[in-house]
Structure 1
Amino acid sequence: MRKHYLVYLVSIAAFFGPFVQTFYTPLLPEVAELFRTSSTAVSLTISVYPIIFAFMQLIYGPLIDKYGRRKILLLGFLFYLLATLGVSLSDHIEMLIVFRILQAVGGSVGSVAALTVIGDLFEGNRRVRAMGIYQMLVALGPGLGPVFGGYVGERFGFHPLLWVMLAISTLYWLVIYISLPETGMNKVAGERFAIRQFSDVLAHRSGQSLILLGIMQYTVFYILIILLPSIATDAYRLSPTETGVLYLPVSICLIIGSIVCGPVQVYIEIRRMLIATAVLNGVSVLLLAMLSPVSLTWLVVCISFFGFSLGLSLPLQTALLSSELSRMRATATGVYNFFRYQGMTIGPVLGAYFYPFGYSSIFLILFIIYALVIVIISSRVTPA
């Protein structure tokens, strides 16, 4: 019971990262008016966040391996609290942008720390189940952020919303301080960090494969996210509210896949299941290319299948990475997160650039690339 409590505790730290990235997106017009600035400048406070968030994965990994999970999580989250205070006190757009950058610096600690703690606490299938809980909460973050921010912000305003976030975050930090023990200091504490630790991860056969798969999946995921409003509007003439509802099947099915992954993995060796779920996810991309233009019903079925297969795959990746690179678990997690989060940047850029050529063509090209990725990882991640 204690271990499962800790899984939820640290997974909430990872939940905060994507939640904070998106929580005031429904208020962007109000923020632009409040700070007397352009919508472009306000959008920068959102778009700068994932760039810093991804980069900090490389910093926190070695720090967590060297100094311990609890200490770095508490320090990183405390930094996030101070940055959130700065965001709350911001009275001009430049100040808001700076503190949003600092918010990303502190908030990004949760992704690495949570995966590392879970890797310390569990082995085998129990680790896959715990990783499923982590992925479920992380998947909830970007979806619940705008819902919470829109509800509170519409009733009380932008700055009161920030103070509410600061209060919730402070309470959570206190819970971590009281409840979280150190889980991994005996592993590598005291070792000096060297750049070669990054290259060791990149040179590892499974590490290479998991990073390649993570980049591919996140790129496709964020291309889908950026294209969905255009598909809904151009092909099916949906309203903004109806378009927003389209995101629900993706998120819900991703969560279901994350939950189902653990029980299913009892019966299938983890490497075989990793390859099988990657194939399923690749097939879902092909179905998007073939069936999403046919009807709105098929579009919903395709995006639901994509979300479910992605949810099945992600816990396996983090569990296998934690097992194969256990001695530098946090560093490996940081490198893996850094590269797969590049898809958060690559996806929207590619989606916006190639949309004029037709979204079916985009998904077909993505499927071909995905098929090549699956062939590569199949040859490198050998089932035990």
Structure 2
Amino acid sequence: MRKKFLVYLVSIVAFFGPFTQTIYTPMLPEIGQQFQASQDAINLTVSIYPLFFAIMQLVYGPLIDKYGRRRILLIGFLFFLLATVGAAMSSSVQMLILFRALQACGGAVGSVAALTVIGDLFEGKSRGRAMGIYQMLVALGPGLGPIFGGFVGQHYGIHRIFWALFGITLVLWFILLLFLPETKTKASGVDRFRIRQLSNVLTHRVGLAIVVLGSVQYSVFYLLLILLPNILTDLYKLSPSQTGLMFLPISLCVVIGSLVGGRIQEYFDLKKLLITMAFLNMATILLFAVVASVSLPILTLSLSLFGIFLGISLPLQTTLLANELPHHRATSTGVYNFFRYVWMTIGPVVGSFFYRFGFQMEFYACVIIFACALVFIYRQLFIAADVLKKETAK
């Protein structure tokens, strides 16, 4: 029971990273009016967040491995709290941009620390279930953020969004202070940091395969989220409120898939299961490209299936990463998250540019890229492993 409480505790901290990224997106027009700022400046307050969030993954990983999980998590989350106060007191769009970047710098500690603590506390099959809980809560963040921020902002004003966020997370910080123990042991961490530790995950055959898969999946996932409103408007002339509801199936299915993925890995070979789920995830992208223009229910079904298989594969990746790189667990997690969040930003930018040529062609291209990535991942997980075994046997 104690371990399960800690899983939920650190996963909730990680939840506030993506939750904060999207928290005030429904209020963007009002923010522009209040600060008398251009649309580009207002968009920058949102887009700057994932950039710093990604960079700080590389910073927190080595720090957590060296100085421990509890200390760095408390310091990083306290930094997030102070930056949230700054965002709440911002009187110009320039101040808001600055404190949003600082929010990301502090909030980024949650995802690295949570996965590392879970890796410390659990082994084997139980680790998979705990990773499923983590992925479920993190997946809820981007969807619940706009709902919370839209309600608070509409009734109490824009600045109250950040004050409400500060109040909630301050309580969470004190809970961490009181109940989170240090989970680092001599076997799970290192005392000295060397720069090559950052490249360990990229030179490790399984680590590199997981980074490639996570990068491709997040790139396509966020491309789909960004383009979906345009696709629905162009094909089915949906209103903004109707378009918003279309995000629910994919969000809920990612959550459900994460829970399923945390449990079914107990009964299958982890690497084979990961390849299978990744292949099915790729197949649903092809399905979406083919059937999106047929009817709205079929489009919704394809989105739901995409969410399910994506959700299932996410805890498989983090479990496998924790199993394969136990001595640099936080650093490898930071590198993995860094590439995921970078491609989460790059994918939609590139995809939005090519949308003018038709979304079907765009997603067909995604399928081809995904297929090439799967060939590489399969070679890393199985063929390279077999070659290594034969060489070792000699």
Alignment partner, residue 92 of structure 2: 92
Code of the aligned partner of 1:353: F
- Matches of 2:140 and 2:262, distance apart in 1: 18
Letter in 1 for 2:83: A
Matched AA of 2:6: L
| More moved, 319-328 vs 339-348 | 339-348
Q: What's the counterpart of residue 29 of structure 1?
A: 29
Q: For residue 149 of structure 2, what is the aligned residue in structure 1?
A: 149
Say whether the 8 Å CA contact 1:66–1:188 is kept in structure 2. Answer: no
Name the residue aligned to 1:83: 83
Q: Which runs of 5+ in 2 are unaligned?
A: 387-394
Number of corresponding residues: 384
* Alpha carbons of structure 1 residues 24 and 113: separation in structure 2 relative to 1, 3 Å: same
- Alpha-carbon distance between aligned partners in 2 of 1:46 and 1:14, rounded to the nearest angstrom: 18
Matches within 5 A, 1:194-209: 194-209=194-209
**1:256/1:308 contact within 8 Å kept:** yes
Q: Distance in 1 between the 2:339 and 2:371 partners?
A: 19
Higher mean displacement: 318-327 or 264-273 = 264-273
CA distance in 1, matches of 2:57, 2:187: 20
- TM-superposition CA deviations, 1:214-234 (whole Å, max 9, x none): 110001101101110011000
1:369 corresponds to which residue? 369
Report the residue type matching 2:173 in the other structure: W
RMSD after superposition:
1.2
Measured in 1, the distance between the counterparts of 2:320 and 2:197 equals 18
Residue by residue over 1:168-220, the C-alpha shift from the partner in whole angstroms, topping out at 9 and shown as x without a partner, is: 11101000000100101433656221111112221000011000001100011
What pairs with 1:147-296 in structure 2 (closer than 5 Å)?
Answer: 147-187=147-187, 191-296=191-296
2:62 partner letter:
P
CA distance in 2, matches of 1:287, 1:97: 39
Distance 2:232 2:212 in 1: 30
Query: Is the 1:198–1:332 Cα contact (8 Å) retained in structure 2?
Result: yes
Q: Deviations over 1:331-352 (max 9, x none)?
A: 0000000011112211211221
Distance in 2 (CA, whole Å) between partners of 1:185 and 1:50 is: 31
**CA separation in 1, counterparts of 2:316 and 2:188?**
24
Give the letter for the 1:254 counterpart: V
Aligned to 2:390: none
Which secondary structure does the structure 2 equivalent of 1:186 belong to? coil
Aligned counterparts of 1:152 and 1:262: Cα–Cα separation in 2 = 33
After superposition, give the CA deviation of every residue in 1:145-181 in whole Å (9 maximum; x if it has no partner): 0000001110000112221111111101000000100
> Secondary structure of 1:381's partner?
helix
Read off the aligned partner of 2:194 and give its amino acid letter: A
Q: Which amino acid aligns with 1:168?
A: I
Which aligned pairs between 1:373-384 and structure 2 lie closer than 5 A? Answer: 373-382=373-382
Consecutive unaligned residues in structure 1, runs of 5 or more: none
* Structure 1 position 139 matched with structure 2 position 136: no
What TM-score comes out, normalization by structure 1 length? Answer: 0.98
